[in-house]
């Protein structure tokens, strides 16, 4: 069976610790970042190294 995992949202308390986990333990890389000073949150995109978003 083949499937595609397109999107998931996770809210975290410690962003730096979470990014370190996804990078070190799961091998993901940051591919997108959206920050807006007017908003209380940031949007970060992570992907497997062979999959990059435009």
Report, as an integer, the average pLDDT of 31-39: 89
> What is the arithmetic mean of pLDDT over 4-12?
80
Residue 21 is assigned to a structural domain of this protein: yes
Residue 36 makes CB contacts below 8 A (sequence gap 6+) with 42
Residues 2-22, mean pLDDT to the nearest whole number = 85
- The pLDDT mean for the chain works out to 84
Task: Check residue 25 and report its DSSP letter.
Answer: T
Q: Model-level pTM greater than 0.85?
A: no
Question: Is 54 a member of any domain?
Answer: no
Establish if 19 belongs to a structural domain: yes
Q: What is the pLDDT of residue 53?
A: 53
∠ CA 9-19-52, rounded to 5°:
70
Is 32 within the bounds of a domain? yes
Does residue 3 form part of some domain? no
Residue 52 is predicted with a pLDDT of 56
In-domain check, residue 2: no
> Does residue 34 lie within any of the structural domains?
yes
44, β-bridge pairs? 33
Domain span holding position 21: 15-47
The answer to whether residue 24 scores a pLDDT higher than 60 is yes
> Count of domains in the chain?
1
Instruction: Copy the structure tokens of residue 5.
Output: 């995992």
């Amino acid at each position: 069976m083949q499937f595609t995992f397109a999107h998931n949202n996770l809210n975290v308390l410690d962003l730096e610790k979470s990014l370190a986990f996804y990078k070190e333990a799961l091998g993901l890389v940051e591919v997108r970042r959206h920050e807006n000073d007017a908003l209380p949150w940031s949007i970060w995109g992570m992907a497997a190294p062979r999959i990059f978003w435009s």
